[in-house]
Amino acid sequence: MKQKVYLETSIISYLAGRRSKDIIVAAHQELTHEWWELRKNKFTPFVSQLVIQEIQAGDRAAAQERLLLIESLPSLSLNEEARELALVFLQKKVLPRKAVEDALHIAVATCNGMDYLVTWNCKHIANAEIRSEINRLCKESGFEVPIICTPEELMGG
């Protein structure tokens, strides 16, 4: 059985976005394209209602391109269980209040038993400084947190 991967919004944005002039962002975009082409089919990828909501924002044509990328992917619901876990992250100040969507991404992936959460959001999601606290709070709530990583970390051996 393939492992389940939750694709956070930044992954879809990097796939559909114009190539950045910033060399770091451009490298992340290239790695994301490489993962999508070479590795995506080794997993069962998922998005969520939150990802869909976020990628619909902004320029209509760009939003349509982003939506086309995920049209065949299953979408996880933003259920009460995930909302409650996200609230724990915010109440315990693991994530700042302004990062409510980031808390929800982690919670949705966790509550739905994903093996991986793939993101380029290294400020509030793929952040080594908060990872142990996220793990602890998830375990206290009866969940096992997915491995939170970037596409680069999920390229295989």
Phi, psi of 62 (to 5 degrees): -65, -40
- The domain covering 3-154 belongs, at the CATH homologous superfamily level, to 5'-nuclease (3.40.50.1010)
Binned at pLDDT 50, 70 and 90, residue 134 comes out as very high
Binned at pLDDT 50, 70 and 90, residue 122 comes out as very high
Judged against a pLDDT cut of 90, whether residue 22 lies above it is answered with: yes
pLDDT at 46: 98
pTM assigned to the model:
0.95
User: 118 and 149 in contact (C-beta within 8 Å)?
Assistant: yes
pLDDT, one tens digit per residue, over 54-104 is 999 988 999 999 999 999 999 999 999 999 999 999 999 999 999 999 999
User: 128 and 93 in contact (C-beta within 8 Å)?
Assistant: no
